[in-house]
Structures are given as C-alpha cells and as structure tokens.
C-alpha cells in the first residue's frame, strides 16, 4: 500500500523552513500559507510559538488568506447582551401594530391599474439551444449557408491534384471572414436584445413613470408609503456604496416622492450623492431641505458647510461650520475646516454692503417663490437647478435646437464678483459687467442641456429663469449700492 505523503512532502518544503528565522524573513505569502498549514496539522509536531509567529507573519503578508476562516458551532442568543437583544424584542412588538394595520387595509381593495397579463408565449428550448450554443457549433452554421457553398470535404493526403489547387491564403481569408461574420451576428443579436435606448425615450419614460407614481401614491396608505420609501432609500444606499451615484439619486428621488414627511435621511443621502458628482448647488438645497425637517441634524449641517465651501460661498460655509460646532462641539472635521477658513479669512468678502447684494442675487428668493407656488413638491423645484460646475466635457454640446429653452445661469458665479469688488471698488464694478458677459455665453450652452434631463413636471419654469435683463438689472444694482 502506498504510504500517504506528509504535508511537508506534498508541499515540497524543506524541514529547516519551519524555523523562526526563516519565517521572519519569508515574503512569499503562498509559502507562508503552506507553512502555517503544516504547523497546524501537527504532523511535524506541536510548536505553539512558531505557529503563532507564522500566523502573524501570514496575516501581514496576506490578511484575507483562507486559513484565517474560522467556523464555529453557532452560539445561542444568551451570548448577546440584553442591550443587543432589546431592539429585536422591541421590534417584535412594534411590528405587530403594523401587521394589524395591514390586515385592516386588506378590506379596502387597492385599485391600482395593474399591468395587463402577458400574451401567452413559449420559449422553445431546443431551437434556441442550437442557435445559441458555443461558438464552435456556430461556426458550422454560417459556413454551410455561404453563397459559394463549397462542400467542405477533407482533402486526402494523397490527392495531390487537389492540393495543388488549394490556396492557403484564400482559406485563411475565408476563416477570417467567417469569424468576422460570427462576431457581427453575435453583436447584432446582443443589440436586438438590448433595447436601443435614446435619451429622449429614456426621458419620456422617466417622466411618465414619475407621473404614474404620483397617481399611485394618492391611493396608498401612509404605512405602505413609508415602507416603499424605506425600500428605495436602502436601494439608494446600495447604489451609493457601489459608487453609482446617478442611480442612487434616482432611488432617493423615489424615496422622497413616496414619503416627503420623513425624507430627512433621503435628502441627506441625496446631498452626499450630489456632492460626489460635484453638483454642489443641488447638494446645498438638499441639505437645506433636510435641515428643514430635522434642524438639529449635524451631518446635514456639516455637509451643507462643505458644499457651500466647495461652491465658493465661504461666508455661508463659515457660519455653517460654527453651527456644527454649536451642535457638536467635538466635531473634528468642522474644527479643521474652520481653521482652514480662518487662515483664508483675508480672502473672505468683507462686510455688509456686499453681503446684502449677495442676498439679492441668490437663487433663494426665486426658490422661495417657486416653493410657494408649488407647495406639494418643493424638492422638485430645487432639483431643477443646473449642476453648478459640471465640466464642459460632461455636458454634451448638442446644438440647442429647442431654442425657447429657458436659459439658466450659474448663480454661484454671481457671488464671485463680490470678492473682487472688495479690493478695487470702482474698476471692479466696471469690470463686473464684462465678467458677467464673458462666462454667460459659455455657460448657457452648457447648462441648457443640463436642465432638460429633469423628468419631473416643471411647475414654474419662468421662476427659475434668470433672463438677461434681470441680470443686467442686478448689475446696475450692484454698482449703485457700491
């Protein structure tokens, strides 16, 4: 009978490698795994210290090694603290009332317009399996279907006459062509499976989806709305973790739509997603919405401060950081940022005169108006604002064929001149006019396509518009006040 190999032989590791000095120097994670495995098996004897040292070394080299996977008999719930079990206990009681409420809801039928029943159909397994199968099989099908139809017969080794006629180049070319054709077919098939999605179709779809959602929402009970909202919020978090921020924003939109009264967390999360996409203005409005629902929310304050800073509104940012410290005096992030701001304080726009004008130019006024006109969906309005500094590369410079599109301006830009004003008052004021004009042309082009993608109904487009004359007015205003 063949003797079983010891692990040492199996792994081909010399015995003298099982040694403190060698283990210390070893840099090969794979070998280290083998050494740990041998030591653990106990085949070479029991060396607890060496094992410990090698395990530490392995942890250093390869922290996620399979050898660190442990499985233990399941623990009973008595290992948990009362404190940890309590949420579950409380939950079992809390969920009962919801359960009860649902049972009562059962009586009133929900009249959602359900999608219609699918037409009866059959997917033929046999056909598709020959059609779909491996590329090797596929290669034969088109070959047979070739127009020239040369019956691919094997040329006998002795049949010299045929070999004379055989042109390897031609054959190679034919093979290449076949390959090409296969690829094209596959691609065509994929294309047919993946619906051709044009931007417009997508927009329409989204728009109608939100409209339908609104309709459904009215029929749902608060309990159901809360459930759905929570589900969308969690889904948004998942997308966020996977760094798919656009999708995350979509999910948060839904969550907010479903349950606007308890949407503080969704607003907050949407704000972060916007921050990640560098949409600071949207982030700011989301933070503000969150703070309206939960004025004490430290995270939202901090985020608002960050967003304001990123947007160049240092003064607002400064006040917000102070507010954060008011709520949470230990907040290190706020402290640091405040220090940073303090060091830049020379750059901060000075006092009240200019400050007033900022108010005048700020979108807030418009926003408030918009809000008052469409109370039921304030966040929709705030969403309409163009992402502040979307890079030109992102914004497609599609020829703006829909010319009557409301032009939008980066309102934040208007703040900047105030800083300039501070140093050289008069010249700057004059320069202002030019400055305002300069970015405008570029900006309007960029932002015009940006406004379109908002699927929701725009309750008051003129509110958001800052038409040219308006801008000019404000310029005059600026100069007057100075």
Partner 1 sequence: MDKPQLIEHIHEPVNYTVYDTKWLPLSAKFVVLGSKANSHGIMDIYELNEDKVVKIKSVEKKVAFKCGTFGASSLRNRHMAIGDFEGRLQVLDLEQPDLPVYNVKAHNGIINTIDAIGGTQIDCGAPEIVTGSRDGAVKVWDIRQGQAPVVDMSPPPQMGDGINNTGSRRDCWAVAFGNTYNSEERIVAAGYDNGDLKIFDLRSLSVRWEATMKNGICGLEFDRRDIPMNKLAVTTLEGGLLVYDMRTQHPTKGFSYVEERNAGRSVGTNGVISGPKATVWVVRHLPQNRDLFLTGGGTGSIRLWNYEYPDKRVIDDSDGNKIGVGGTMHMVSAATLSTQPVHCFDWHPDKLGLAVCGAFDQNVRVLITTKLNTY
Site for partner 1 in 51-70 (CB under 8 A): 64, 66-70
The CB-side HSE value for 278 (13 A sphere, CA atoms) comes to: 6
CA dihedral 149, 150, 152, 155 (to 10 degrees): 180
> Considering only 110-118, 388-396, 398-406, 453-461, which stretch makes contact with partner 1 by CB under 8 A?
110-118
Distances (CA, A) of 171 to 161, 174, 283, 462: 17, 5, 62, 68
Instruction: Please pick, from the candidates 212, 336, 368, 424, the single residue that binds partner 1 as defined by CB under 8 A.
Output: 212
User: Cβ closer to partner 1: 99 or 164?
Assistant: 99
Can you list the alpha helix ranges (DSSP code H) found in 124-260? Answer: 125-132, 135-144, 160-165, 168-193, 199-219, 222-241, 245-258
Pattern 234-263, partner 1, x by CB under 8 A:
xx-xx--xxx---x----------------
Least distance in angstroms from the C-beta of 380 to partner 1: 18
Tokens, residue 258: 């479903």
Q: Residue for token digits 């999608």?
A: 115
Site for partner 1 in 175-204 (CB under 8 A): 183, 186-187, 190, 192-193, 195
**427/438 Cα distance (integer angstroms):** 17
Site for partner 1 in 135-154 (CB under 8 A): 135
Instruction: Please pick, from the candidates 62, 174, 216, 276, the single residue that binds partner 1 as defined by CB under 8 A.
Output: 216
Rg (CA), the chain: 34
Least distance in angstroms from the C-beta of 121 to partner 1: 5
96-102's contacts with Cβ under 8 Å and 24+ in sequence apart are: 98/223, 101/221, 101/223, 102/223
User: Cβ closer to partner 1: 221 or 374?
Assistant: 221
Site for partner 1 in 20-39 (CB under 8 A): 37
Residue 228 binds partner 1, judged by CB under 8 A: yes
> Is 377 in a helix, a strand, or coil?
coil
**366/53 Cα distance (integer angstroms):** 68
Pattern 300-339, partner 1, x by CB under 8 A:
----------------------------------------
Least distance in angstroms from the C-beta of 231 to partner 1: 8
Least distance in angstroms from the C-beta of 129 to partner 1: 7
Instruction: Please pick, from the candidates 4, 5, 25, 75, the single residue that binds partner 1 as defined by CB under 8 A.
Output: 75
**58/66 Cα distance (integer angstroms):** 11
Least distance in angstroms from the C-beta of 247 to partner 1: 8
User: Cβ closer to partner 1: 239 or 409?
Assistant: 239
Tokens, residue 237: 């978090």
Least distance in angstroms from the C-beta of 186 to partner 1: 4
Tokens, residue 204: 């329409």
Smallest CA-to-CA distance from 477 within 367, 354, 364, 369 is with 354
Alpha carbon 67 to its chain's center:
35
User: Cβ closer to partner 1: 193 or 401?
Assistant: 193
Site for partner 1 in 462-481 (CB under 8 A): none
Check if the beta carbon of residue 273 is closer than 8 Å to that of residue 249.
yes
Residue 203 CB partners (closer than 8 Å, separation 6+): 452, 453, 455
Instruction: Please pick, from the candidates 4, 5, 83, 119, the single residue that binds partner 1 as defined by CB under 8 A.
Output: 119
Instruction: Please pick, from the candidates 2, 12, 49, 99, the single residue that binds partner 1 as defined by CB under 8 A.
Output: 99
Q: How many residues interact with partner 1 (rule CB under 8 A)?
A: 77
Pattern 334-373, partner 1, x by CB under 8 A:
----------------------------------------
Least distance in angstroms from the C-beta of 39 to partner 1: 10
Least distance in angstroms from the C-beta of 31 to partner 1: 17
**10/401 Cα distance (integer angstroms):** 73
Handedness of CA 119, 123, 124, 130 (dihedral sign): positive
User: Cβ closer to partner 1: 2 or 71?
Assistant: 71
């Amino acid at each position: 009978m063949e003797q079983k190999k010891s692990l040492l032989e199996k792994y081909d590791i010399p015995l003298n490698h099982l040694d403190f000095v060698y283990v210390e120097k070893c840099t090969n994670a794979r070998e280290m795994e083998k050494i740990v495995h041998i030591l653990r098996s106990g085949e070479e004897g029991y060396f607890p210290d060496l094992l410990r040292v090698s395990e530490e070394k392995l942890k250093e080299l390869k922290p996620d090694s399979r050898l660190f996977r442990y499985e233990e008999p399941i623990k009973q719930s008595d290992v948990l603290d009362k404190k940890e079990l309590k949420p579950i206990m409380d939950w079992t009681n809390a969920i009962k009332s919801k359960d009860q409420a649902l049972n009562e809801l059962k009586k009133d039928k929900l009249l959602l317009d359900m999608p219609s029943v699918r037409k009866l159909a059959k997917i033929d397994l046999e056909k598709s399996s020959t059609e779909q199968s491996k590329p090797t099989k596929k290669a034969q099908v088109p070959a047979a279907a070739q127009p020239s139809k040369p019956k691919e017969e094997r040329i006998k080794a002795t049949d010299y006459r045929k070999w004379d006629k055989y042109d390897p180049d031609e054959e190679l070319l034919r093979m290449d062509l076949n390959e090409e054709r296969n690829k094209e077919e596959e691609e065509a098939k994929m294309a047919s499976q993946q619906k051709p999605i044009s931007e417009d179709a997508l927009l329409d779809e989204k728009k109608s989806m939100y409209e339908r959602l609104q309709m459904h929402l009215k029929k749902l009970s608060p309990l159901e709305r809360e459930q759905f909202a929570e589900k969308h919020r969690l889904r948004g978090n998942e997308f966020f973790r996977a760094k798919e921020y656009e999708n995350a924003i979509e999910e948060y939109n839904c969550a907010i739509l479903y349950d606007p009264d308890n949407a503080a967390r969704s607003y907050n999360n949407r704000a972060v997603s916007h921050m990640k996409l560098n949409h600071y203005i949207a982030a700011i409005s989301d933070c503000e919405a969150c703070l309206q629902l939960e004025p004490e929310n430290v995270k939202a304050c901090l985020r608002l401060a960050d967003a304001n800073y990123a947007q160049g509104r240092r003064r607002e940012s400064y006040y917000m950081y102070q507010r954060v410290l008011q709520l949470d005096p230990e907040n290190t992030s706020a402290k640091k940022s405040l220090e940073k701001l303090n060091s830049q304080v020379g750059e901060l726009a000075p006092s009240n005169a200019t400050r007033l004008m900022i108010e005048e130019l700020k979108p807030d006024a418009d926003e408030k108006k918009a809000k008052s006109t469409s109370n039921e969906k304030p966040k929709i309005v705030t969403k309409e604002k163009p992402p502040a500094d979307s890079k030109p590369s992102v914004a497609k410079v599609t020829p703006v064929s829909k010319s009557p599109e409301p032009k939008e301006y980066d309102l934040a830009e208007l703040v900047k001149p105030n800083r300039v004003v501070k140093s050289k008052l008069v010249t700057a004021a004059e320069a202002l006019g030019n400055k305002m004009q300069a970015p405008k042309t570029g900006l309007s082009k960029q932002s015009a396509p940006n406004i379109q993608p908002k699927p929701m109904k725009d309750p008051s487009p003129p509110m958001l518009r800052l038409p040219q004359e308006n801008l000019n007015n404000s310029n005059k205003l600026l100069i007057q006040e100075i």
